[in-house]
Structure 1
Amino acid sequence: MTSRPGVLAPDPLTLADVEERARAVLSPEVYDFVAGGSGGETTLNANRTAFDRCHLVPRVLSGADTADTTTTLLGVPASMPVAVAPMAFHSMVHPDGEPAVARAAATAGVPFTASTLAGRPLDELSRADGDLFLQLYWLRDRARTEWLIDEAERLGARALIITVDVPFMGRRLRDLRNGFAVPAHAAPVNLADAQRGVGQSVGGHAAAVIDPTLSWSDLEQVRRRTRLPLVLKGVLDPADARRAVDLGADGLVVSNHGGRQLDGAVPSLLALPAIREEVADACEVLLDSGVRSGTDVLRALALGASGVLLGRPVLWGLASGGEHGVTGALELLRTELEVSMALAGAPDVAAAGRLGVRWAPGTNEREEP
């Protein structure tokens, strides 16, 4: 966002405004790394199209003059049905990195998910006075994988979120064209020294450290090893959702990795209703990929999600204003959600889940009652 000399730029009114502020301060290659998707970015764009085609059916005469956004996510109280999604390399967008995001999440009253590829140690992130989830990639170094699980338990993490849709990185053409590599100041410190990948391409680094042979039997071992709530992130098929529940998963994240893995994969929002129908109330069902407003959160709730993981907008807030920028982005999202819920006649999160939706013509999804 630009402004005339001597004229203070207005406060952002939408998360798109936050992104524009971030774009103005980031190098083009770093902006592309965060914003981009894989392949021709078909799925990246389809995520947004799905939200735009999902129309809420508001209820009237609810008798409520406010909307209560509070809820619980994986047993953790939250001020709204939102958690910060796991994302790598925070320090490449702002020197304060993950600790600033963790503190902002604590201030906002939402859980923060630390990535395996975080640039700061887990014990530092656990001191943010908020609720911590750990996202886990299945590493070739099994001893390091087990150490991360044990460390999460020791530090009081509230859930373990295993990403299951990255046997290797999708072909992210923006990064390839830009020659983007893992920056030294944002290197993943929770990996062994030799695995931090400084100077490698992101795809090359992932191939070196992530084990593509992760299977259901490995997840069974994790389930036996840890007492933490176990969540699988990257599920799009109802059959996989059912198998995860049968294995003992406590939660699922319906996700196509923000359009960064299989280009052409179904938009997460379109996959959500069938997965919720398959698992019913057997586990929590969260959603990510494409959430850009409080109305998007409400749409996800109406389609059966317990809540959402918010990704790129958090990094845009961090880039444009550090901890204060993330706090502002989360507060903006909460304001939008409160207004959308009130206008839809949903006085609380449970009522939001009972709203109907109608899909725009041409959307390959059945209408919800």
Structure 2
Amino acid sequence: MPLTPKSPGPEASWSAYANEIYAAGLLRGDVPRLPTDLTRLEELFSRRLPAGPVGYVAGGAGDASTARANREALDRWRIVPRMLRDVAERDLSAELFGVRLPAPLALAPVGVQSVVHPDAEPASARAAAALGVPFTTSSASSTPMEEIAKAAGDAERWFQLYWPKDREVAVSFLQRARASGHSALIVTLDTAMLGWRPRDLDQACLPFLHGVGTANYFTDPAFRAGLAKPVAEDPVAAVQHFLGMFADPSRTWDDLGFLREHWDGPILLKGIQHPDDARRAADAGMDGVVVSNHGGRQVAGAIGAAAALPGVVSAVGDRLTVLFDSGVRSGADMAKVIALGARGVLLGRPYVYGLALDGQAGVDHVVRCLLAEFELTLALSGHRAPADLTPDSLVRAD
């Protein structure tokens, strides 16, 4: 029979998940419903879902060379285990933006989750909340942010903004996000327009054209004020209005004051890869940056995110909170990123694969596998806490 384990409280040892799996096999003959090697999830996802959703989630820009570069950049770093250190007790907890979390992990903003599972973002938010891991609501979610917040309950949650051209819609989004309990704002800078994505183009698949991923817009009073007719009466016009304002490639650093004017919590800029951009974020009074290339979905031939991370940390690690996403597929990857100076990791595609394959339970499984492996990697390399990891914990393979 398949294993559907109960989630632990945030205070539990994450590595106990391995014992739970073995015990279920011994006592009941159960095995996990999904692989524990998270690198296998994409293959399963690709076999079980239609080509459109598969390409939209798993695809990359151009020839997907940047997605490959993300993996290559992580693989270049190798962990150097140290022996005879007392690691009997471990503590994965970390503080981000004044909140103590059970681990330096959050679920990344991923929009349009209804294309992979009907329970969509609320299922992911519930799984994250049960584990104490922050969930990041995407502007392009399939579900209005207020419903996602309701699913998350009192758990920590963040909001990601695709900065629209329409100032009033932007203000409304920020007000709604704050009112629905989102504590931090992540502003995605690398998607001022969609990149060249052959897997989507070959299927002529863009969910937004069908009104999917537009829930926050279609429920927004400022957005609806710009429509001649209600969304239900003319959905085509609503989609066109959305497409006309989705992002603004004319934005510059001078515009960041608008965000601070309308958001009183932490602000992070996502998509930072150059140290000079990180310095400009710090000079502009931002609270953090996310080193990310959008999982390789925007610019083909670009630098791997892990290759960009050390330079950003060196430039602003003492001034800003540096988070990381793009390419993390294992607890070992997470250990490397933390050792390179990131304060936390945003996990993207793997949890979406888990959602697609097994709903909320799939998200739960993915997060628990990642953190169990992270804890074991930490301990077996001679460390008791994420803060113990430093660049000296790694060597470059090349």
Give yes or no for TM over 0.5. Answer: yes
Q: Does 1:173 align with 2:210?
A: no
Whole-Å separation in 2 of the counterparts to 1:350 and 1:63: 15
Partner deviation per Cα, 1:284-329 (whole Å, 9 max, x = no partner)? 1001000000000000000000011100001100000001110011
In 2 relative to 1, CA 199–74 (structure 1 residues): closer, same or farther, beyond 3 Å?
A: farther
Count of matched residue positions in the alignment of Structure 1 and Structure 2? 354
Larger Rg: 2
| Alignment-derived partner of residue 346 in structure 1 | 383
Q: CA deviation at 1:208?
A: 4.9
Q: CA deviation at 1:272?
A: 0.5
Query: Could you tell me which of 178, 182, 187 is aligned with 2:207?
Result: 182
| Alignment-derived partner of residue 20 in structure 1 | 43
**SS of match in other structure, 1:77:** strand
Whole-Å separation in 2 of the counterparts to 1:34 and 1:280: 31
Q: Does 1:274 align with 2:311?
A: yes
Percent of pairs with identical residues: 40
Partner deviation per Cα, 1:69-102 (whole Å, 9 max, x = no partner)? 1112233322211110011100010000000000
Query: Could you tell me which of 159, 174, 182 is aligned with 1:157?
Result: 182
| Alignment-derived partner of residue 27 in structure 2 | none
| Alignment-derived partner of residue 365 in structure 1 | none
Q: CA deviation at 1:8?
A: 7.8
| Residues 32-181 of structure 1 aligned to structure 2 (within 5 Å) | 32-127=55-150, 128-129=152-153, 130-181=155-206
Whole-Å separation in 1 of the counterparts to 2:235 and 2:128: 28
Contact 2:144 2:216 in 1 (8 A): yes
Structure 2: unaligned runs, 5 residues or longer: 1-29, 218-222
Contact 1:121 1:190 in 2 (8 A): yes
**SS of match in other structure, 1:119:** coil
| Alignment-derived partner of residue 240 in structure 1 | 277
Contact 2:80 2:395 in 1 (8 A): yes
**SS of match in other structure, 2:100:** strand
In 2 relative to 1, CA 199–187 (structure 1 residues): closer, same or farther, beyond 3 Å?
A: farther
Whole-Å separation in 2 of the counterparts to 1:82 and 1:8: 26
Whole-Å separation in 1 of the counterparts to 2:263 and 2:99: 18
Contact 2:329 2:350 in 1 (8 A): yes
Of residues 216-225 and 32-41 in structure 1, the stretch that sits farther from structure 2 once superposed is 216-225
Q: Which amino acid aligns with 1:242?
A: R
Structure 1: unaligned runs, 5 residues or longer: 1-6, 362-369
Whole-Å separation in 2 of the counterparts to 1:278 and 1:309: 21
Q: CA deviation at 1:185?
A: 7.1
**SS of match in other structure, 2:187:** strand
Aligned residues: CA RMSD: 2.4
Q: CA deviation at 1:59?
A: 2.4
Contact 1:140 1:209 in 2 (8 A): yes
Contact 2:296 2:326 in 1 (8 A): yes
| Alignment-derived partner of residue 286 in structure 1 | 323
Whole-Å separation in 1 of the counterparts to 2:77 and 2:242: 37
Partner deviation per Cα, 1:195-216 (whole Å, 9 max, x = no partner)? 999789x9x9756521111111
**SS of match in other structure, 2:215:** coil
In 2 relative to 1, CA 231–198 (structure 1 residues): closer, same or farther, beyond 3 Å?
A: farther
| Alignment-derived partner of residue 297 in structure 2 | 260
Q: CA deviation at 1:350?
A: 0.8
